[in-house]
Structure 1
Amino acid sequence: MERSDTPRVDVEALEGFQEFLTFTLGVEEYAIDILKVQEIRGYEQPTTIAHAPSFIKGVINLRGTIVPIVDLRIKFAVGKAEYTPFTVVIILNIQNRIVGVVVDSVSDVMALKGAQIRPAPEFASTVDTKYIQGLASLEERMLIVVNIEQLMLSSEMALLDESAR
């Protein structure tokens, strides 16, 4: 009998689960669909673009592809946008468009059942929850599950032209 150091995944045990990458912005923990994540990189100063919204930090050259970099801390107005050795860029592939998002740190990958994600509560009109898929409560942790595709494809992000939508 051969011994393998590669862990086996029990596919039946994962049935009904969806995997999410969790990350922090300020003191809050967020989660996005792992299938949208292409890679995770350390933060590097992007080339700034004149007249871009403040949350678009600029662009980087990723193996020949020009990638816009969005700072989610600025976009969501959470915490102060400080760039430390823990600051990372999550490279996303959304409908064949590559976009990077800056976050404070990446936590882990978590499998959640649909029933674990509760709808976001209704707030006054000053709080925009249209990009929040829901909230997941796990023991002492509360995850804000973001519909990252809907956010990145929104007209307010100005990342795609109208013909691509």
Structure 2
Amino acid sequence: MNALTIRLDDELFAVEASQVREILDLVPITEVPNTPAFVGGLINVRGRVVPLADLRVMFGMERPEPDEDTRIVVMEVNIGGEPTVAGILADKVHDVTDIEAASIEEAPKVGMRWRPEFVKGIGKRNGGFIIIPDMERIFETPGDRNSPAAASEERSAL
């Protein structure tokens, strides 16, 4: 898998490079009332309104103030079978790398700090782990990603 590696908090994540459209410096974010905490707001990408997601909320991480390394990764994700452009916040964008399919394992169901239903797999690189989020499942999940009600909605939808 050819992947863009990004840092969220102190963890390394990888998103499929084929889904990435562009990487932006931080731009003004328009907050939208009554949206789940996961949705950071809306951004303008070349005249197009694009939803911005914060994966740190999905994975129960701290949300530090943006700094000079903060970037927005604009990607195309299938949501309900439709290709949709969305942005995700990254504390830092690292590089594009190849993660061998043989080195990707299924996420363990216990002992992880991340919700396993949102992790497609865990890759290994240079003696460390890279979390591969399931972007389609993350973006398709309704409601507030932190609430227990949303978790039970998700389980009943499976």
Instruction: Please state which band the TM-score falls in when normalised by the shorter chain.
Output: 0.7 to 0.9
Q: Is the alpha carbon distance of 1:42 and 1:59 closer, same or farther for their aligned partners in structure 2, counting shifts above 3 Å?
A: same
Q: Deviations over 1:130-165 (max 9, x none)?
A: 12111112223210111212212223479xxxxxxx
Q: Is the alpha carbon distance of 1:102 and 1:115 closer, same or farther for their aligned partners in structure 2, counting shifts above 3 Å?
A: same
Match of 1:34 in 2: 17
> Runs of 5+ in structure 1 lacking a partner?
1-17, 159-165
Q: Is the alpha carbon distance of 1:103 and 1:150 closer, same or farther for their aligned partners in structure 2, counting shifts above 3 Å?
A: same
Residue 153 of structure 1 pairs with residue 140 of structure 2: yes
Residue 57 of structure 1 pairs with residue 34 of structure 2: no
Computing the radius of gyration from Cα coordinates, the structure with the larger value is 1
| Amino acid corresponding to residue 98 of structure 2 in structure 1 | A
Moved beyond 6 Å, runs of 4+ = none
Q: TM-score, normalised by structure 1?
A: 0.77
Q: CA deviation at 1:58?
A: 1.1
Residue 74 of structure 1 pairs with residue 53 of structure 2: no
Tell me the distance in 2 between the aligned counterparts of 1:98 and 1:127.
Answer: 24
Tell me the distance in 1 between the aligned counterparts of 2:2 and 2:106.
Answer: 18
1:31 aligned counterpart, secondary structure: strand
Q: CA deviation at 1:128?
A: 2.1
Q: Give aligned pairs, total.
A: 141
Q: Is the alpha carbon distance of 1:61 and 1:139 closer, same or farther for their aligned partners in structure 2, counting shifts above 3 Å?
A: closer
Equivalent residue in structure 2 for 1:84, among 61, 67, 71: 67
CA contact (8 A) 2:37 2:144 kept: no
Match of 2:87 in 1: 100
Q: Deviations over 1:42-72 (max 9, x none)?
A: 1123111111122212111212211011112
Q: CA deviation at 1:127?
A: 5.6
Q: RMSD of aligned C-alpha atoms?
A: 2.1
Tell me the distance in 2 between the aligned counterparts of 1:74 and 1:131.
Answer: 12
Tell me the distance in 1 between the aligned counterparts of 2:37 and 2:107.
Answer: 27
Q: TM-score, normalised by structure 2?
A: 0.80
| Amino acid corresponding to residue 149 of structure 1 in structure 2 | E
> Runs of 5+ in structure 2 lacking a partner?
146-158
Tell me the distance in 1 between the aligned counterparts of 2:135 and 2:19.
Answer: 8
Tell me the distance in 1 between the aligned counterparts of 2:38 and 2:135.
Answer: 15
